[in-house]
Structure 1
Amino acid sequence: MKDDRLRTPVESDYVEALGRTAYTFASLEWQVVWCLEKIRPNDIRKVVGEEMTAGKIGKRFQDAVRNMPKSPERELLQNLASEFLQLVQVRNNIMHGKPCTSPKGDQRLSGSSVIEIVDLENAADDFVECSCKLNDLSYGFLSSYSVK
């Protein structure tokens, strides 16, 4: 029925933080895909066609970067690929969390621990920070990169 979603006992600010975290991760994931596309043209077809998980996308990105000619930018991309794979684990911990009641009585998700709003905000900040670094490389170094 209309508005049945409101019967779930969770605070709006928690849901807003959770939604922002999910959205910022999706944005990061696609920033990785577009960087991958610049390194390996037409690779996006494989990513989309196989409906790859973020972890598989991250490993594919890491492999593509590893095969690039040595440069300071490649080293930065390698670090960001590793960071992305770590952030996939952060996202998985959140998005695969189980509903629980926190010690304070609030409805939350729990992964390796109870996930509070500050945890969601920190994750979203980390997702955006990584995405911005990749975006800079995408529109900088990778904009003129050609497969050799």
Structure 2
Amino acid sequence: MKDDRLRCPVEKDYVQAIGLAAYTFARLEWQVVWCMEKIKPDSIHKVVDKEMTAGTIAKKFIDVTRNMAKSNEREQLKELAIEFMALVQVRNNIMHGKPCTSPNNEQRLSGKEIIEIEDLENAADSFVECSCKLNALFYGFLETYKPS
């Protein structure tokens, strides 16, 4: 029925934090995909055609950066690929969280522990920070990068 979603007893601030975390992760994930496309052309089609999970994309990104010619930027990309892999786990903990009632009687998600708004905000901040670093490399170093 219309407005049945309003019957779910969760605070708007919490849901907003979940949504922002999900959105900022999606932006990060696609920044990774676009970086992979610059490093290894046609990567984007493989991601889309195979409907790769974020974890699989992270593994491919690690492989692609490892196979680049040595440079300071390659090292930065390798570090960011490893960071992305860790952030996939953060995202999975959130998005695969189980609904629960916290000790404060608030509706929350739980993964390894109860996920609070601050956790969601910290996750979103981490997703954006990594994405910004990748974006700088995408429009800097990778702008003129020629795959070997």
TM normalised by structure 1 equals 0.99
* Deviation by residue 1:22-56 (Cα, 9 ceiling, x = unmatched): 00000000000000000001111000000000000
Hey, what does 1:70 align to over in structure 2? 70
Hey, what does 2:22 align to over in structure 1? 22
Hey, what does 1:85 align to over in structure 2? 85
Query: Aligned pair 1:8/2:8, yes or no?
Result: yes
Hey, what does 2:56 align to over in structure 1? 56
Aligned residue for 1:70, secondary structure, equals: coil
Aligned residue for 2:100, secondary structure, equals: strand
Query: Aligned pair 1:113/2:102, yes or no?
Result: no
Stretches of 4+ aligned residues off by more than 4 angstroms:
none
Aligned residue for 2:109, secondary structure, equals: strand
Q: One-letter code of the match for 1:102? A: S
Hey, what does 1:136 align to over in structure 2? 136
Hey, what does 1:40 align to over in structure 2? 40
Once the two structures are aligned, what percentage of the paired residues are identical? 71
Distance 1:146 1:2 in 2: 53
Distance 2:133 2:127 in 1: 10
Q: Which blocks of at least 5 consecutive residues in structure 1 are unaligned? A: none
Distance 2:93 2:67 in 1: 30
Q: One-letter code of the match for 1:24? A: T
Distance 1:37 1:19 in 2: 27
TM normalised by structure 2 equals 0.99
Question: What is the count of residue pairs matched by the alignment?
Answer: 148
- Aligned-CA RMSD value: 0.4
Q: Which blocks of at least 5 consecutive residues in structure 2 are unaligned? A: none
Distance 2:95 2:14 in 1: 13
